[in-house]
């Protein structure tokens, strides 16, 4: 198989929904669209309470360089602009839209444009206007990734179809059902970046998707199924054998990585001027009646999605936004689905283990794909030695969770590293 | 859909990841203990039920002292994690079978109280408690610890016919005390003696006799990735190389199969807490153990050397970890690792 990255783990895949086609969920009664769904500054609100909105209408515009637009995902009336629970940040300003039960799109939605003749600038603009962000989870504004600064030549565009998180199958289904849109989106990216080569990286547990893409004539590398194969730096290493330098970005080694979902969204944005107003979400777990993939409007409360999947089976103990390795456990089910929400997991049965002392077993060191020493950093962070933690590379941690996954003492290592990072950043600001 | 109740939520909100591998500390301890049971059973056959009494006392007092210390220090009582049981078992494995009953009690007491709990308990001890207990006993009652041998059933203490007063390694060290040195050494390196050592028709400490059973247990742990192959390979590799290079009277196989080397390399050098966590460090540690063991055997005052070499490397572990840091992903060669 292809040159691997060091470390990583093999959690049970449990991709039980990989054969269930995406079901479209109708517009919910109410959506809570956060102005911050991406890395960077929240969008600037363009509407006020009482405004009528249509599907696809821009309700927030990018504020500054690293930011993204947000759009109304249903047609109706803005009933409030208020702080509301947010799956990632805890609380965030949201535009609350009450639906009017119509499917009216904003007037300037186009049908089937001819995109052949569009210039790079026009393509990039269409993507910016549509509020496209990375749909793999990190939600980095795509137009920023597509505009590398002068001097950074991009030779390779990598499209990430790994979906290495266990349980999630949203990307897999997308690749199966909309391969053409994904490929065309990728080619749009390639054109914007002027990259000589385009390669798809797909884990070898999705051989059907690999076949479809190969049949369509694009270059696909079948990658070993290993978590976190889909992490940007590990993927680049596996495909190009290039190592992104510490603190650097993929563009430093001449490449850019985009997720398959992002490609599809960008294609829709360019071809139909359709903004990012919905996404595919894998709903799974013993706590929800039907496990399946659902196309959900952005801003739909998680509870409504669970209702659409037949409701709860019992009393849920844990609701996760995202995958089991990197997803975020939620306080309540009123948080909305946002652009980066790849999964909703509902569990009735969970096992909680009391953390024990670190027994220096080194499992975490062996598992860390970033070559860190989690046990050391954990010790440093818990003793509040943040400068030492920084030296030991806490900022290099990608929070993949491999270390905590293998830790026999059940130490919540990632929790410490997130805290440690925040402290290091806080110190460097002072 | 109708009976969807509004879930009044009391959700668990813990940090990611939300799934964990099955390996946990107390299970791992139990597996290690299990891997040692065949050797214990065999020792009971060789030296009689006395072995079980010594081992039982050693384990009971390790667990008892652990509970007592934790109670006195106001810590959580964690005797079910298996680590004290393992300490007691390993200490017993390092005792001659003929020691009086209070020896294992004193050894376990020292191991748990001084080498483990006073440093903060499991995970904070920097030397292997069982080996520390043994070193304490060696220093305090040297004659008991080097003489209380028992004759094994169907074999001799030395593994060669006719000589019943010395272990193979002390025989190798001072053959002239027992007869014609030339003959003794050739007998020691003879295939028969080596075979006796491998299958365990030989005397010695309770747990070190059967190389075969220890190897099986050790390979099982290796297979489960509970012990690290780098430490074992580094230890056995460097040791075998030196046994071949250095001027010793024993053959490579003789050295590999004697003096608890297999027990030490698979079960004691690999102790999680007291060995390095870095990948390179684990090689360094294993090689260090091998080199020191061989140096002690060739030039040192003790015949065997396994436990002292591991203890010595335990002391160096923090230093090894500091100087053999992992290479961080994307760290450019050369200008990295600042002090
Ligand atoms: S969470 Fe951080 S420290 Fe842990 S394995 Fe991943 S990169 Fe390494
Ligand atoms: S995996 Fe857990 S117990 Fe083992 S060294 Fe790392 S932090 Fe310590």
The complex scores an ipTM of: 0.89
Confidence category of residue A109, pLDDT binned at 50, 70, 90: low
Residue B7, pLDDT score? 47
- Nearest by CB to residue B121, choosing from A317, A357, A404, is A357
Domain ranges of chain B: 25-147, 168-323
Model confidence at A108: pLDDT above 70: no
Residue A233, pLDDT score? 94
Question: What mean pLDDT is predicted for residues A8-29?
Answer: 93
A120-272 maps to which CATH number? Answer: 3.40.50.11540
Q: Does the C-beta of A370 come closer than 6 Å to ligand 1?
A: yes
Q: Between A190 and B23, whose confidence is greater?
A: A190
Residue tagged 């102790």 (tokens): B271
Q: Whose CA is nearest to atom 1 of ligand 2?
A: A407
Q: How far apart are CA B139 and CA B143, in angstroms?
A: 10
Q: How far apart are CA B56 and CA B264, in angstroms?
A: 21
CATH 3.40.50.11540 domain range(s) in chain A: 120-272
Identify all chain B residues contacting A382, using CB atoms and an 8 Å cutoff. Answer: none
- B25–chain A Cβ distance below 8 A for any pair: yes
**For testing contact with chain A, the best of B22, B83, B323, B330 (most A CBs within 10 A):** B330
Ligand 2 proximal residues by C-beta, below 6 Å: A 358-364, 374-375, 378, 406-409, 411, 413; B 277
Residues with Cβ within 8 Å of A351's Cβ and at least 6 positions away in sequence, in order, are none
Residue B5, pLDDT score? 44
CATH 2.40.50 domain range(s) in chain A: 26-99
Whether residue B18 and residue A327 make contact (CB cut-off 8 A), yes or no, is: yes
Q: How far apart are CA B135 and CA B304, in angstroms?
A: 13
Residues with Cβ within 8 Å of B245's Cβ and at least 6 positions away in sequence, in order, are none
Whether residue A405 and residue B17 make contact (CB cut-off 8 A), yes or no, is: yes
Residue B334, pLDDT score? 55
Q: Domain A278-347 falls in which CATH fold?
A: Ubiquitin-like (UB roll) (3.10.20)
Enumerate residues 66 to 85 of chain B having a beta carbon within 8 A of any beta carbon in chain A: 78, 81
Question: What mean pLDDT is predicted for residues A176-181?
Answer: 95
Residue A104, pLDDT score? 87
Residue B9, pLDDT score? 57
Ligand nearest to the CA of B15: 1
Let me know: does B240 contact B250? Beta carbons within 8 Å.
no
Question: Which of A5, A327, A379, A400 is the best mutation target for the ligand 1 pocket, counting ligand atoms within 8 Å of the beta carbon and taking the most?
Answer: A400
Residue A183 sits at φ, ψ, to 5 deg, of -65, -45
**DSSP string for residues in B198-246:** HHT-B-SSTTSS-HHHHHHHHHHHHHTTSS-HHHHHHHHHHHHHHHHHS
CATH of A26-99, one of 2.40.50, 2.30.29, 2.40.160, 3.30.450: 2.40.50
Q: How far apart are CA A85 and CA A91, in angstroms?
A: 4
Q: What is the mean pLDDT of chain A?
A: 93
Residue stretches of chain B with pLDDT short of 50: 1-8, 335-339
Reduced 3-state DSSP string for A169-193: CHHHHHHHHCHHHHHHHHHHHHHHH
Ligand 2 atom at minimal distance to the Cα of residue B25:
3
Residue in A closest to B8 by C-alpha: A332
Quick: pLDDT tens for A313-360: 999 999 999 999 999 999 999 999 999 999 999 999 988 888 999 999
Question: What mean pLDDT is predicted for residues A146-163?
Answer: 92
- Nearest by CB to residue A357, choosing from B7, B123, B279, is B123
Confidence category of residue A229, pLDDT binned at 50, 70, 90: very high
Residue B335, pLDDT score? 47
Residue A396 sits at φ, ψ, to 5 deg, of -80, -15
CATH 3.10.20.600 domain range(s) in chain A: 278-347
Strands A318-321 and A328-329: antiparallel
């Amino acid at each position: 198989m292809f040159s691997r990255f060091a470390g990583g783990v093999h959690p049970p895949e449990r991709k039980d929904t990989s054969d269930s086609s995406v079901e479209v969920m109708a517009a919910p009664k109410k959506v809570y669209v956060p102005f911050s769904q991406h890395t960077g500054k929240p969008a600037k609100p363009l509407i006020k309470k009482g405004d009528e909105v249509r599907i696809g209408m821009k309700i927030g515009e990018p504020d500054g360089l690293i930011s993204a637009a947000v759009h109304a995902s249903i047609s109706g009336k803005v009933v409030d602009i208020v702080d509301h629970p947010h799956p990632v940040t805890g609380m965030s300003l949201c535009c609350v839209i009450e639906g009017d039960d119509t499917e009216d799109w904003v007037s300037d939605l186009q049908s089937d444009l001819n995109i052949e003749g569009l210039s790079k600038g026009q393509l990039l603009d269409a993507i910016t206007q549509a509020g496209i962000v990375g749909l793999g989870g990190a939600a980095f504004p795509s137009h920023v990734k597509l505009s590398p600064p002068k001097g950074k030549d991009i030779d390779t565009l990598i499209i990430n179809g790994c979906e290495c998180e266990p349980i999630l199958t949203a990307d897999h289904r997308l690749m199966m059902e909309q391969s053409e849109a994904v490929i065309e989106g990728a080619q749009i990216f390639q054109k914007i970046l002027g990259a000589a080569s385009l390669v798809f990286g797909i884990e070898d547990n999705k051989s059907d998707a690999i076949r479809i893409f190969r049949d369509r004539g694009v270059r696909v590398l079948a990658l070993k199924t290993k978590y976190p194969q889909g992490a940007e730096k590990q993927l680049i290493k596996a495909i190009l054998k290039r190592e992104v330098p510490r603190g650097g970005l993929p563009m430093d080694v001449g490449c850019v990585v985009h997720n398959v979902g992002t490609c599809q969204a960008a294609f829709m944005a360019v071809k139909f001027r359709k903004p990012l107003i919905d996404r595919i979400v894998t709903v799974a777990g013993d706590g929800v009646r039907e496990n399946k993939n659902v196309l959900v409007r952005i801003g739909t409360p998680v509870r409504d999605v669970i209702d659409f999947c037949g409701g709860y089976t019992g009393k849920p103990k844990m609701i996760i936004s995202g995958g089991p390795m990197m997803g975020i456990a939620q306080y309540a089910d009123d948080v909305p689905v946002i652009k980066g929400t790849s999964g909703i997991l509902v569990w009735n049965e969970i096992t909680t283990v009391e953390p024990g002392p670190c027994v220096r077993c080194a499992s975490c060191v062996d598992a860390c794909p970033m070559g860190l020493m989690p046990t050391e950093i954990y010790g440093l962070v818990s003793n509040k030695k943040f400068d030492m933690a920084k030296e030991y590379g806490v900022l290099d941690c990608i929070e993949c969770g491999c270390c905590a996954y293998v830790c026999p003492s059940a130490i919540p290592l990632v929790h410490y590293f997130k805290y440690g990072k925040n402290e290091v950043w806080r110190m460097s600001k002072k | 859909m109708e009976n969807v109740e509004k879930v009044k939520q009391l959700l668990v909100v813990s940090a990611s990841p939300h799934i964990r591998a099955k390996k946990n500390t107390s299970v791992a301890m139990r597996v290690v203990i299990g891997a040692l049971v065949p050797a214990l059973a065999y020792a009971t056959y060789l030296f009689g039920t006395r072995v079980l009494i010594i081992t039982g006392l050693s384990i009971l007092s390790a667990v008892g002292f652990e509970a007592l210390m934790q109670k006195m220090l106001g810590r959580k009582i964690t005797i079910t994690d298996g680590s004290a049981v393992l300490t007691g078992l390993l200490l017993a494995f390092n005792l001659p079978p003929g020691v009086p009953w209070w020896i294992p009690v004193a050894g376990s007491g020292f191991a748990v109280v001084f080498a483990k709990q006073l440093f903060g308990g499991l995970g904070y001890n920097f030397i292997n408690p069982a080996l520390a207990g043994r070193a304490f006993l060696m220093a305090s009652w040297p004659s008991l610890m080097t003489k209380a041998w028992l004759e094994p059933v169907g074999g001799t203490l030395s593994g060669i016919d006719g000589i019943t007063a010395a272990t193979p390694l002390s025989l190798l060290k001072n053959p002239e005390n027992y007869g014609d040195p030339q003959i003794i050494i050739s007998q020691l390196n003879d295939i028969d003696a080596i075979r006796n050592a491998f299958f365990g028709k030989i005397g010695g400490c309770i747990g070190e006799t059967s190389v075969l059973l220890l190897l099986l247990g050790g390979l099982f742990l290796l297979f489960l990735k509970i012990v690290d192959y780098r430490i074992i390979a580094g230890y056995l590799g460097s040791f075998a190389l030196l046994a071949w290079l250095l001027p010793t009277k024993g053959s490579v196989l003789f050295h590999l199969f004697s003096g608890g080397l297999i027990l030490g390399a698979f079960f004691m050098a690999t102790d999680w807490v007291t060995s390095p966590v870095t990948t390179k460090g684990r090689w360094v540690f294993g090689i260090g153990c091998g080199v020191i063991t061989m140096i002690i055997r060739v030039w040192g005052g003790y015949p065997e050397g396994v436990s002292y070499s591991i203890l010595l490397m335990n002391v160096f572990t923090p230093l090894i970890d500091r100087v053999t840091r992992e290479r961080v992903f994307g760290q450019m060669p050369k200008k990295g690792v600042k002090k």
